[in-house]
Chain A
Amino acid sequence: MTILQILWFVVIAVLFAGFLFFEGFDFGAGMATRLLANNDSERQTILRSIAPHWDGNEVWLITAGGAMFASFPLWYASLFSGYYILLFLTLIALIFRGVSFEFTAHAQNAFQRSLWLWTNFIGSVSAPFLLGMLLTSMMQGVPMDAQGNVWAGFFVVVNWLSVVGGLAVAYLSLIHGLHFISLKTKNSLHNRAINMADKLYWLVYPVLVIFALLAIFQTDFFTKHLMTSLFIVILLVLATLLGHLAIHYGHNAYAFSASGLSLILVIAFIFNGIFPRVMVSNNGKHDLLISTASASSLTLEIMTGVLAVLLPIVLIYSAWSYWIQRKKFVDIK
């Protein structure tokens, strides 16, 4: 393993974490259009708060995919072909969700409008759930052959660990989204978002605990990386607790940071656990390793240069775009 290979393993983790941090809250806001909003105008207010940003947020996923292709082509090939149907369903969810923003604005009657609002909701629920399933099901070792082909049958994809993992990501996204709404709105929606998140936390703890327990029994994370895995799990629980306390005592910005951190820690837990592998095989023989799955050192060097120049620029103008649109929204009376 070279330093560049480890760096790119971390970069892929950071990109997935960035995706969950950013797109997580707009998934959550999409879920809130049905779970929190009481009427059409509240739905509009929620959608308005994420409308300028969701597209840029989704680019994190596109970048993660592209960067994985560039830095670990063998990982990209095995993961994407092996999890074919799950990725396919995720794509369908993202497509429906993506067009719904624009199509809602063009809807000609109440029926079409509600069609696209529901589309947005269903996409916002299923995308984080399916992605959570994908990320967590590959923790436990998948059937792979010597060429790195993954033969992921139904029960490899759908099992207790992956379902609970999917739920965890979806719940955390919802809470993250509610925190975002509490920051972007005033009055009724603002208050109800805080209340709802405060109560929902009680549901998140058991999901996280079951997830950690399943991870102990279904994966080798705690045998291979006992200390770091434990450390991250404790951080995850602490971050969630912190978010809960913060929202309970009205520190909305802290709560938002804490829920974002929880999502980042889920990714950290997975990437820490699979290290130094990128894909874990169920027989232990055909693991894809960081050292063998990566692109050539020249490609990694070039990509490192590109990343070092472009990522700071991207972060600066993304931050700027949030800053200039920081105004809070009040619902239509």
Chain B
Amino acid sequence: MITLAMNVISLSRFQFAMTTLFHFLYVPLSIGFGLMVAIMETIYVKTKNPVYLKMTKFWSKIFLLSFAVGVVTGIIQEFQFGMNWSNYSRFMGDIFGAPLAIEALLAFFLESTMLGVWMFTWDRFKPAVHAIFMWLTWLGSALSALWILAANSFMQHPTGFMINTKTGHVKLTDFWSVISNEQLWYQFPHVIFGAFTTAAMVVAGMSAFGLIWKQNHEFHLKSLRLGLIVGLIFAVATIAAGDLQTRYIIKDQPMKFAATEGIYKNTTSPASWQAVALIDTKNEKVDQSIEVPYLLSLLSYHKLSGSVTGMTKVNKELHAKYDKKFGKNMNYYVPVKTLFWSFRIMAGGGSLIALVCVLGLFFSRKKKNTLLEKKWLLWVLALTTFLPFIVNSCGWLITELGRYPWVVYGLQTIADAVSPTSTVGGLLFTNIVYFLLFAALGAFMFYYARKTLKDGPDHLEKTEIYDDDSAVDPLDQEVFNK
């Protein structure tokens, strides 16, 4: 089994999956944190309440940590297309490279330059002007998400291209159609709202820890409520955007959708929803399931009737459509169990986040704040810190595994995309090093974030000793606290 799995394709896939999932722990966090910090600083500008200035400074520490790890893992991501998937790069370069280059020019420069300005110019600009730099940083990160998803959307749903008959490579024919790709405009809101929710819940969850540890009361309560308000708004928005996206996926990638619901045979109309199911992928059937009547029709079509096409039929259709090009031996079944459970964790986790936000906001309302007496709720809130990361990862598993066996839907298979020069030995080595590196980076990031929270927001003032910027520890937060 192990020897079977040790080939260039599976090792390259493992490396890509590992890098993407690790990178995507920090990307939503830093996109969302940019927004949270910008909101905090803006409230400070409006209200002049110093607690919001403290919030801006304290939470930006966590933001900067996530930003640092996100940036460095992002470089790997960009280089990996060429390093591990050179045939993919040759095939897709005409279309895939442009969004990446635009992302760098339009978004990364803006994001990193403005963050550099923001960090070190507290004493040089009026608070209102200073806040603009964080908004620009955030804008940069949101724009980068847009462009990388434009590239990803082409891989999910190719548009605006033709195949160059001489080279066999994709050739761009309509750039506008690449940007106006429907897939993109269903995917982008879902991902970006999810990112906002992530950081909001981390702020709320970490504040709950602060309250449990009986740190600065006002600070953490205000942070918690701000986190919950932003979290609730965007959790609901994420679910709504996800619903729209799902209905699009039913039409566009029926195999992906059928797999997330574990449906082999076409369902009856109305269709019932399988909450949990034991799936037998070998014999292509569902052994046992707990079903809720009508719900699948309701979720899929927003009405009480309508059947859903099963994987068996989709498989036949795909064979009919692609056998000429890819041969009869292709396997069009995606990893069904992973998709089925990922979807449940994603959707369930997302709904849970919204519910936790409602509970937290209700029990901490100004007129009758009983949150501190409810130890269980504080712990639930605290533990919710980690939930968005699991939810986000599951979302990506569905998106990326769901287009198996293609790397570009209907155009290039994963096996054809890999670098011919890659070797098992080389990949094994880099996989191990990346794994250890990611583990170490993740551990330090977690450790420093936890330590920052343990020290608490009041630690900021204790270390505030500086006389102009002529004589300060450059990277110490002291400078930054100015």
Interface residues of A (CB under 8 A from B): 41, 44-49, 51-53, 55-56, 58-59, 61-63, 65-74, 76-82, 84-85, 87-88, 91-92, 94-95, 98-99, 101-106, 108, 147-151, 295-296, 298-299, 302-303, 306-307, 310-311, 314, 317-318, 321, 324-325, 327, 329-333
Asked if residues B101 and A325 are in contact (CB atoms below 8 Å), the reply is: no
Closest to B478 in A: A105
Say whether A92 contacts B421, CB under 8 Å. no
Asked if A306 contacts B102 (CB within 8 A), the reply is: yes
In the bound complex, what is the Cα–Cα distance between A69 and B96 (angstroms)?
8
Contact call A298/B173, Cβ cutoff below 8 A: yes
- In whole angstroms, how far apart are the Cα atoms of A62 and B113 in the complex? 14
Instruction: Indicate if the CB atoms of A91 and B75 lie closer than 8 Å.
Output: yes
Which of A55, A73, A88, A310 counts the most B-chain CB atoms under 10 A from its CB? A73
The distance in angstroms between the C-alpha atoms of A69 and B97, with both chains bound, is: 5
Q: How far, in angstroms, from A68 to B86 measured CA to CA in the complex?
A: 13
Q: A103 near B113 (CB under 8 angstroms)?
A: no
A119 CB, nearest partner CB in chain B, Å: 11
Known: A44-B473, A45-B474, A296-B171. 18 other contacts (CB 8 A): A41-B473, A48-B472, A48-B479, A51-B120, A59-B104, A69-B97, A70-B98, A81-B86, A95-B75, A95-B441, A106-B451, A299-B98, A299-B172, A303-B101, A306-B105, A314-B105, A325-B120, A330-B470
Pair B83/A88 contact, Cβ less than 8 Å: yes
Evaluate whether A55 and B115 lie within 8 angstroms (CB atoms) in the complex, with A73-B92, A330-B471, A332-B472 already known.
yes
Q: Which residue of B lies closest to A49 (CB)?
A: B474
Give A57's nearest chain B residue, CB to CB: B112
Among B67, B474, B479, max chain A CB count under 10 A is at B474
Measured CB to CB, the closest approach of chain A to B162, in angstroms, equals 10
| Chain B residues within an 8 Å CB radius of A80 | 79, 81-83, 86, 89
Q: Are B68 and A84 in contact (CB under 8 A)?
A: no
Could you tell me if B421 and A84 are in contact, using CB atoms closer than 8 angstroms? yes
In the complex, A65 Cα to B89 Cα: how many Å? 12
Set of chain A residues within 8 Å of B76, measured between Cβ atoms: 91, 95
Query: How far, in whole Å, are A101 and B476 apart by their CA atoms in the complex?
Result: 10
Q: Are A149 and B68 in contact (CB under 8 A)?
A: no
Q: Given A80-B79, A80-B83, does the pair A324, B437 have CB atoms closer than 8 Å? A: no
Is B64 interfacial (CB-CB < 8 Å)? yes
Q: Which of A47, A71, A80 has the largest number of chain B CB atoms within 10 A?
A: A80
Tell whether, in the assembled complex, residue A74 and residue B90 are in contact, meaning their CB atoms are under 8 Å apart. Answer: yes
Q: Does B367 contact A (CB under 8 A)?
A: no
Interchain CB contact under 8 A, A151 and B421: yes
Please tell me if the beta carbons of A69 and B109 are within 8 angstroms of each other in the complex. no
Q: Which of A106, A108, A298, A318 contacts B109 (CB 8 A)?
A: A318
Given A66-B104, A94-B72, does the pair A47, B475 have CB atoms closer than 8 Å? Answer: yes
Neighbouring B residues of A85 by C-beta, 8 Å:
426, 430
> Which residues of the partner chain B approach A310 to less than 8 Å between Cβ atoms?
102, 105-106
Given contacts A87-B79, A105-B476, A333-B471, contact A321 B116 (CB under 8 A): yes
Closest 8 CB pairs of A and B: A73-B93, A48-B474, A80-B82, A70-B97, A69-B97, A52-B116, A81-B86, A66-B101
Instruction: Please report the C-alpha to C-alpha distance between residue A76 and residue B61 in the assembled complex, in whole angstroms.
Output: 36
**Most chain A CB neighbours (cut-off 10 Å) among B65, B109, B419:** B109
Indicate if B348 sits at the interface (CB-CB under 8 A).
Answer: no
Find B97's partner among A73, A318, A327 (CB 8 Å cutoff): A73
Q: CA of A298 to CA of B176 in the docked complex: distance in angstroms?
A: 12
CB neighbours (8 Å) of B420 from chain A are 81, 147, 149
Q: How far is the CA of A323 from the CA of B82 in the complex (A)?
A: 36
Closest CB-CB distance, A311 to chain B, in whole Å? Answer: 7
Q: Looking at the complex, which one of B65, B75, B93, B422 makes contact with A106 (CB distance below 8 Å)? A: B65
Q: Answer yes or no: B84 CB below 8 A from chain A CBs.
A: yes
| A138–B441 CA distance with the chains assembled, in angstroms | 32
Residues of A contacting B106 with CB < 8 Å?
A: 306, 310
Quick check: B97 and A84 within 8 Å, CB to CB?
Answer: no
CB-defined contacts of B476 to chain A, threshold 8 Å: 44, 105
Q: Is the CB of A95 within 8 A of B73?
A: yes
State the majority secondary structure of interface residues on B: helix
Which residues does chain A contribute within 8 Å of B114, judged by CB atoms? 317, 321
Q: State whether B100 touches A73 (Cβ < 8 A).
A: no
- Given A48-B479, A88-B430, the answer on whether A81 and B83 have CB atoms closer than 8 Å is yes
CB pair A53–B83 under 8 Å, yes or no, is no
Residue among B81, B93, B100, B452 with most chain A CB within 10 A? B93
Is A296 in contact with B94, judged by CB distance below 8 angstroms?
yes
Cβ–Cβ contact B79 & A77, under 8 A: no
Q: Is the CB of B471 within 8 A of A92?
A: no
Contact A103 B444 (CB under 8 A): yes
Q: Which residues of B contact A71 (CB under 8 A)?
A: 97, 101
B477 proximal to A (CB < 8 A): yes
| A249 CB to nearest chain B CB (Å) | 27
Check B100 against A70 for contact (C-beta < 8 Å).
Answer: yes
> Is B71's CB within 8 Å of the partner chain A?
yes
Which of chain A's residues has its CB closest to B112's CB? A55
**A-facing residues in B39-71 (Cβ within 8 Å):** 61, 64-65, 67-69, 71
For B95, the chain A residues whose CB sits under 8 A away are: 299
8 Å CB contact of A62 from B64, B73, B108: B108
Using CB atoms, name the residue of chain B closest to A102: B68
Task: Kindly state whether residue B276 has any CB partner on chain A within 8 Å.
Answer: no
Determine if A79 and B475 form an interchain contact, defined as CB atoms under 8 angstroms apart. no
A84 to B67, CA, bound (A): 26
Q: Confirm or deny: B117 has a beta carbon within 8 angstroms of a beta carbon on chain A.
A: yes
Give CA–CA (A78, B421) in the complex, Å.
9
Is B113 in contact with A91, judged by CB distance below 8 angstroms? no
CB within 8 Å of A: which of B261-279? Answer: none
- Considering only CB atoms, which chain B residue lies closest to A97 in the complex? B72
Contacts of A65 in B (CB 8 A): 78-79, 82, 100, 104
A63 to B111, CA, bound (A): 14
Task: Give the shortest distance, in Å, between B176 (CB) and chain A (any CB).
Answer: 10
- Residues of A within 8 Å of B120, CB to CB, are 51-52, 325
Bound CA span A298–B160, Å: 12
Closest to B78 in A: A65
Closest chain-A Cβ to B175's Cβ sits at a distance in Å of: 5
Contact across chains for A84 and B426 when beta carbons are under 8 A apart: yes
A72, B371: Cα distance in complex, Å: 59
- Cβ–Cβ < 8 Å partners of B113 in chain A: 55-56, 317-318, 321
Pairwise interchain contact B479-A81, C-beta atoms closer than 8 A: no
Query: In angstroms, how far is the closest chain B Cβ from the Cβ of A26?
Result: 11
Q: Is the CB of A69 within 8 A of B172?
A: no
Q: Does B119 contact A (CB under 8 A)?
A: yes
B326 within 8 A of A: no
**B43, chain A: closest CB distance, angstroms:** 25
Verify if B392 is at the interface (C-beta below 8 Å from A).
no
Q: Are A77 and B82 in contact (CB under 8 A)?
A: yes
Neighbouring B residues of A101 by C-beta, 8 Å: 68, 475
Are B109 and A296 closer than 8 Å at their CB atoms?
no
- For B82, give its contact among A76, A99, A149 (CB under 8 Å): A76
Inside 8 A of B61's CB, which chain A residues have their CB? 106
B282 contacts chain A at the CB level, 8 A cutoff: no
B98 touches A303 (CB 8 A): yes
Q: Which residues of B contact A52 (CB under 8 A)?
A: 116-117, 119-120
Task: Let me know if B462 is at the binding interface, CB within 8 A.
Answer: no
- A4 and B173 CA atoms in complex are apart in Å by 17
